[in-house]
Structure 1
């Protein structure tokens, strides 16, 4: 089996040495996504809801590349600065993103993330062999 990787082409992929996603067989592992535009410019400084929505949009970009659907996501890992302050907003946006689909999810409060203004990061595991 060969691994297939996907990158956005943003600077930090090469600097840190990682891919946005790696497909191994029918499993897709998606790195923690964050709030940035297609050029890699960070968006939503100080606005947790904007950052979370943009982060989910970047997750959708990865899914689209692989022809996958949100309903094929089996697990999310969510890292949040100031979790107590942002949990209700996170819960609402996570529920809205997935609708009736309910993947497993681990939510962790963290003291810091990669970028100075970053408040949230969301990674996922996708099973491409599940019916969308």
Structure 2
């Protein structure tokens, strides 16, 4: 099965040896997205809701480039630097998705760079299979 990199200018460019996402068959694996705008600038310093919204804008743009969308997400992993931010993140998350909600894991991690409060990765289905 071929696997192809997904790249859009509507989300922050990768700053390392990874792809924004990989398409394999009818699956899209989106790398962990940070609360950055398309120019790589932090969005919503110390504001979990603004940062969560920024992360989902990036995920949405990447999924669109891959021929998918937020309504096709089947699994997410949320990394929080402080679990006390769970409720603010979850409020935005609940507005982004509708039932049946994707499967989700949420874990607290040590830290992220530059005041970032969360990172989210996901797996989604794609309407078209990768050629």
**Residue deviations 1:43-88, cap 9 Å, x none?**
11111111001101111001111221222110000000111x1111
> How far apart, CA to CA, are the structure 2 residues paired with 1:77 and 1:123?
5
Moved more, 34-43 or 53-62: 34-43
Counterpart for residue 125 of structure 2: 127
Aligned residue pairs, count? 126
TM-score by length of 2: 0.87
Unaligned runs of 5+ in 2: none
Superposed displacement of residue 24, structure 1: 0.7
Moved more, 95-104 or 73-82: 95-104
Superposed displacement of residue 128, structure 1: 1.6
> How far apart, CA to CA, are the structure 1 residues paired with 2:54 and 2:114?
17
Taking the TM superposition and a 5 Å limit, the aligned residue runs for 1:1-132 are: 1-8=1-8, 10=12, 13=14, 15-83=15-83, 85-113=84-112, 115-129=113-127
* RMSD across aligned positions (CA): 1.8
Contact 1:45 1:51 in 2 (8 A): yes
TM-score by length of 1: 0.87
Unaligned runs of 5+ in 1: none
> How far apart, CA to CA, are the structure 1 residues paired with 2:71 and 2:100?
6
